[in-house]
Amino acid sequence: MSETRVDQVVPARPSERIRVLVADDHALYRRGLEMVLGQEDDIEIVGEAGDGAEAIRRAEELLPDVVLMDIRMPRRSGIEACTAIKDVVPSTKIVILTISDEESDLYEAVRAGANGYLLKDVPGEEIADGIRAVVGGQSLISPSMASKLLTEFATMIKKSDERPALPVPRLTTRELEVLKLVARGMANRDIAGELFISENTVKNHVRNILEKLQLHSRMEAVVYAVRERILDLT
């Protein structure tokens, strides 16, 4: 199984700068992010927001490529804002950047459609690399949170065993194969090599999977795969 590494993502050319909106209720932290990311030739801070409601409004107005979002914010939480932004600007990638290492927050962020979840103690360069990673189609989770996500999966599976089975959307055999590889963290090019198909074909399958399952991101696809026992974590 190949691993997706952030440092494998090729930075965008300066002429194709990644447009970023920063949403955090601490002005000093926003300034710090702007200083760190301002040193990156391929990243441009296009706006900021001090609460969840403003983040939604600014995202709809600015149409950023990426929103860096705190969870604990006034008026609307980062989770609520994430859900709303995915509805009004579905092409925008959202990276949760927070001090919270709670499994429940991570899971709720995934459910809300977040493309990444980083803790605020990561170095600034890792935030920049994370932005490039999600723009490149990857999902991103702080290493310290990975085991906690598996713990949340185990709890979720136990709960699913206690409720009546419901019909799930019908996926083709090929879509199931692609979903299993997506859930293992493989990049599109690696999936293409594994299944002997083109990368564009993989992208089409992923898009069809997300549409059929009414999901927003590859991270949500991982949750679905575990819940429906498509992915075996044992």
At 117-142, the pLDDT tens digits run 888 888 878 899 889 988 988 777 76
Measured over all CA atoms, what is the biggest interatomic distance in the chain, rounded to whole angstroms? Answer: 53
Nearest partner of 170 among 231, 211, 110, judged by Cα: 211
The per-residue pLDDT for 69 is 94
The per-residue pLDDT for 218 is 73
**Residue range 52-59: average pLDDT?**
95
Number of C-alpha atoms within 13 angstroms, CB side, residue 148? 16
| Rounded CA Rg of the chain | 17
**How would you label 159-194 residue by residue, b for 16+ Cβ within 10 Å and e otherwise?**
eeeeeeeeeeeebeeebebbbbbbbbbbbbebbbeb
The per-residue pLDDT for 6 is 40
The per-residue pLDDT for 3 is 39
d(CA 15, CA 34): 19
d(CA 178, CA 213): 14
The per-residue pLDDT for 101 is 75
Architecture of domain 161-227: Orthogonal Bundle (1.10)
**pLDDT grade, residue 13 (50/70/90)?**
very low
Tell me which of 27-31, 198-202, 225-229 is least confident. Answer: 225-229
In the chain, where the domains are located: 6-145, 161-227
Superfamily of domain 6-145: Response regulator (3.40.50.2300)
* Secondary structure (3-state) at 20: strand
Tell me which of 13-17, 81-85, 96-100, 170-174 is least confident. Answer: 13-17
**Residue range 27-39: average pLDDT?**
90
Q: Answer yes or no: same fold for 6-145 and 161-227.
A: no
Q: What are phi and psi of 103, to 5 degrees?
A: -60, -40
pLDDT of residue 168 exceeding 60 = no
Q: Given the structure tokens 């709890």, which residue do they identify? A: 155
Q: Let me know: does 138 contact 189? Beta carbons within 8 Å.
A: no
Q: Look up the pTM and report it.
A: 0.63
pLDDT averaged over the chain? 80
